[in-house]
Amino acid sequence: MFSVIKSAMTGAGLMVAVSAAFAADAPRGRPIDLPPPTYVAPRPTTLSGWYVRGDLGFRWGRSSGSQASAPFASPGSEKLGQSFAGGLGVGLKTDWLRTDATIDFGSPMKYQATTAAPNDTTAKVSSITALFNGYLDLGSWYGATPYIGAGAGAARLRVSDYQSTAAPPFSGDGAHSQWNFAWAGMAGVAYKVAPNMQFDVGYRYLALGDVTTASDAFGQTKIRNIANHEVRVGLRWSIDDLPVVR
């Protein structure tokens, strides 16, 4: 019994001695300093991914005038009719910026002008355009995202079925095609109809440049500054939206 009491007292003494040693090492009057916790700022949320798009449009054409080879009188009172267009594209989207490459095919627009008599000069003008475009998404409200954008690229214009009583060419309805620089400005609204699909409706102004008719021994006629006002609808489908990074 005495030996048990002695052992307990010895253990208690050792514990007191160890506690006193730790207390002697600690600064008096303040707690032990610990390293501050490390703060890791959250990474910004980024949604991005490839998408494909398909669009249909209705066009109103315009031109700034026509010029015939000298010494023939140039047509006046020009007007371009309406046509339809369809296009496909592929692009890349981030939070607020989109870029895509598109190709559009436009059905022929009817060209009419007056040279010697009202509407005595006619032709058909069709186009193919390839553009690289950039867009700014301006925020989203209730699934709707307005945007503005611009594009630049190339256009292939084709004039066919040209007929005129007073402006060349006079040798039938030969066709002529040429490539021009083209540019566009657009604005619209996209509405989310599924997690990876948006319905897009917008306006586009498309500048296509000049185009000349086929020529014969008497010369040719140039139609200047062809452009289109377009109302377009389409779908954008995200291929591989990247996951949110946190």
pLDDT tens digits, 36-90: 666 555 554 444 689 999 999 999 999 999 999 999 999 999 999 999 999 999 9
pLDDT, tens digit (0-9, with 9 covering 90-100), for 3-28: 544 444 455 454 444 444 444 554 55
pLDDT, tens digit (0-9, with 9 covering 90-100), for 158-198: 999 999 989 999 987 789 999 999 999 999 999 999 989 99
- Contact between 64 and 79 (Cβ < 8 Å): no
The strand pairing partners of 205, in sequence order, are 185, 229
Domain boundaries, the chain: 49-238
Three-class secondary structure of residue 242 per DSSP: coil
pLDDT, tens digit (0-9, with 9 covering 90-100), for 221-237: 999 999 999 999 999 99
Please report the pLDDT score of residue 125 as a whole number. 97
Residue 66, both tokens: 């026509």
Place of tokens 């699934």: 143
Count CB-CB contacts under 10 A for residue 245.
11
Please report the pLDDT score of residue 90 as a whole number. 97
| Domain 49-238, architecture per CATH | Beta Barrel (2.40)
